[in-house]
Amino acid sequence: MDGWEGLRRTLAAIPRDIPVIADAKRGDIGSTSEAYARALFEELGFDATTLTPYVGLDGLEPFLRYHDRGLLVLCKTSNPGSGDFQDLVVDWRGQRTPLYQVVAQRVVEWNRKGSGQCGLVVGATYPSQLKQIRALAPDLPILIPGVGAQSGSLEEAVRLGADQSGDLAIVNVSRAIIYAGSEADWPAAARAEAQPTVEAMRRSRPARAES
């Protein structure tokens, strides 16, 4: 209950022109997904949410019905054990392909049928997979966690995750900033952590355009 109230107050404090992504990793069957979509998009007012693909694409469809909201589907996650299932090589359309690449390609196809609302989640801790996924999904936003507390490279996340124009890489740094300080010094400590991060992101973008 306290967490829910904290979430509401955090959302209320964010200016409306800043898009807010719920890292909710939902993935359930139709009727339950409908209720989760309503809670996240209507009740709380998030602009996008992360989703987990194991149940299949029909479980994600209720989220697609909100045409002005974004869906970011887990593809290759940032954690050490993400290979347990995501890296398994599968038979797919006559090819042998790691599961995470099948997910990427299915989401690309699925996105074409909808309103172009979809993106992928790929951990900065797996730069070579990030590069492969960007090649398979040249036009999709990629949310890239794993920088900061999880020690992925920010420079690689931006360089390998961005599209041809240097856009569509959404690199999030969460724990390193939200846990930057104690109650008293938090605003200054969070700013001190966030500012060089933003500057490093800016520096990494032009470098890519030149290469």
Active site residues: 25
Give the angle subtended at the CA of 75 by the CAs of 204 and 166, to the nearest 5°: 25
Contacts with a copy of itself in 15-34 (CB under 8 A)?
23, 25-32
Give 133 or 162: the residue with its C-beta nearer to a copy of itself.
133
Half-sphere exposure of 111 (CA within 13 A, CB side): 21
207 φ, ψ (degrees, to nearest 5): -55, -40
Euclidean distance between CA atoms 144 and 154, whole angstroms: 9
Structure tokens at 104: 């990427």
Q: Residue 94, interface with a copy of itself (CB under 8 A)? A: no
Euclidean distance between CA atoms 163 and 137, whole angstroms: 9
At position 149, the amino acid (one-letter code) is: A
Site stretch for a copy of itself (CB under 8 A), options 3-11, 130-138, 182-190, 197-205: 3-11
Q: Which of 74, 158, 170, 171 binds a copy of itself (CB under 8 A)?
A: 74
Site stretch for a copy of itself (CB under 8 A), options 11-19, 100-108, 132-140, 162-170: 100-108
Q: Which of 11, 14, 19, 88 binds a copy of itself (CB under 8 A)?
A: 88
Structure tokens at 70: 């974004």
Q: Residue 53, interface with a copy of itself (CB under 8 A)? A: yes
To the nearest whole angstrom, how small is the minimum distance from the Cβ of residue 34 to a copy of itself? 12
74 φ, ψ (degrees, to nearest 5): -60, 130
Site stretch for a copy of itself (CB under 8 A), options 83-91, 126-134, 135-143, 202-210: 83-91
Site stretch for a copy of itself (CB under 8 A), options 10-18, 63-71, 76-84, 193-201: 76-84
Question: Following CA atoms 75, 164, 125, 179 in sequence, which dihedral angle do they give, to the nearest 10 degrees?
Answer: -100
Q: Residue 148, interface with a copy of itself (CB under 8 A)? A: no
Q: Residue 185, interface with a copy of itself (CB under 8 A)? A: no
Using CB under 8 A as the binding criterion, the count of chain residues that bind a copy of itself stands at 46
Burial 103-141 (b: 16+ CB within 10 A, else e): bbbbbbebbeeeeebbbbbbbbbbbebbebbbebbeebb
> Which positions lie near a copy of itself, rule CB under 8 A?
1, 3-5, 8, 23, 25-32, 39, 52-59, 74, 77-86, 88-92, 96, 99, 102-103, 106, 149, 175
